[in-house]
Amino acid sequence: MNVIETEGLTRRYGDRTVVDGLDFRVRKGSVHALLGPNGSGKTTTVRMLSTLLRPTSGQARVLGFDTVVDAVRVRQRIGSVGQFHSVDPRLTGAENLTMFARLSGMRARVARRHARDLLERFDLADAADQRVQNYSGGMRRRLDILAGTVVRPAVLFLDEPTTGLDPRSRNDIFGYILNFVAAGTTVVLTTQYLDEAERLADAITILDGGRTVATGTPAEITAAVGAGLDLVVTSADRGRAVELLTGFGAREVGSTAVQEDSIRLSFGLDEEPELLPILRALDADGIDVHDIGRRRASLDEAFLALTERTTAS
Ligand SMILES: Nc1ncnc2c1ncn2[C@@H]1O[C@H](COP(=O)(O)OP(=O)(O)OP(=O)(O)O)[C@@H](O)[C@H]1O
């Protein structure tokens, strides 16, 4: 069952179309990541889905309700955490959450208890009575997410939940998100971190220039982009090896030094390469191959290939 469905969802600012005819579906209980370079329309899409922004044309339904006609019903059932802090820095963590719980209709005593419970469960009990202005970035982001989820929402929208955080705080937030999912919440998140999408998402939509360039599971997306090839050669042969592989339709996507004088070159290809002709050509050119291997394309390669292709066209 889909909890989100969009048809031709479009947003223009003046004569600029920043979200251009999006059609996508989000399955109940899944984590769906919207990925894309800066300015590709991720935030605008999430703002439309969470009723904060009206589409210029097209429509979106969340839990069966139209985000414009039935905006109030949508709002009652979703949680939304934007890129900017929603909590009040002059209040304590407990006061902030109590306030959000009261705003969602809880009675004062119940709200206070609920706020304490949440802070306890999400490792912020020690900081419950400190003013938020003294919190670290990671603590504050966690509190933000709690504020957006005081009442467990059926659908949770998170706009770049871990941008700027250290690895430990990011891990904590991944844990939270998976907690919500385990409890039945569907999550839509935007991210610029491919590892985040790979770790959390059941499905990914890659946006570029306001359009969908790929959608599917991480495995489907990487398979659609093609294959990868790793080649270890002497550093001095690098230029010639890259030139030769380019002749086979490979794109260089990265390199790492292996030892003092050898280098691992990584290539992306549209299709699974045949190694024998490549090895013969390298040999004929006098290039010493230390190691060669095929691998699946990574999500990084998929992202670069897909977003480059549309930018170039
Ligand atoms: N209120 C606005 N008025 C005019 N243009 C806007 C407005 N809001 C967003 N845009 C433009 O729409 C485009 C898409 O912005 P959006 O914030 O949705 O992208 P994004 O993919 O979330 O980017 P980022 O990763 O940088 O957050 C950008 O070029 C932005 O400048």
User: Is the beta carbon of 84 within 6 A of some atom in ligand 1?
Assistant: no
Comparing 175 with 21, which gets the higher pLDDT? 21
| Each residue's pLDDT tens digit, 234-291 | 999 999 999 999 999 998 888 888 877 999 999 888 888 889 999 999 999 999 999 9
C-alpha 228, offset from chain centre: 22
Question: In this predicted structure, what is the pLDDT of residue 308?
Answer: 62
User: Sorting pLDDT into bands at 50, 70 and 90, what band is 312?
Assistant: very low
Ligand 1 binding pocket mutation candidate from 34, 35, 40, 162 (most atoms within 8 A of CB):
40
pLDDT greater than 90 at residue 169: no
How confident is the model at residue 223, as a pLDDT? Answer: 78
Phi, psi dihedral angles at 260 (to 5 degrees): -45, -50
Tell me: pLDDT of 199 over 90: no
Model confidence, pTM:
0.79
Judged by average pLDDT, the poorest of 141-145, 164-168, 245-249 is 164-168
ipTM higher than 0.85? yes
- Counting ligand 1 atoms within 8 A of each CB, the residue from 10, 44, 54, 81 with the most, and so the one to mutate, is 44
- Assess whether pLDDT exceeds 70 at residue 89: yes
Give percent above pLDDT 90 in the chain.
59
Detail the DSSP E strand segments found in the chain.
Answer: 2-13, 16-22, 25-27, 31-35, 57-62, 65-66, 78-81, 155-159, 186-191, 203-208, 211-216, 227-234, 251-259, 262-269, 289-296
* pLDDT one-digit tens code per residue, 12-58: 999 999 999 999 999 999 999 999 988 999 999 999 999 999 999 99
The pLDDT score that the predictor gives to residue 205 is 94
What's the chain's average pLDDT? 90
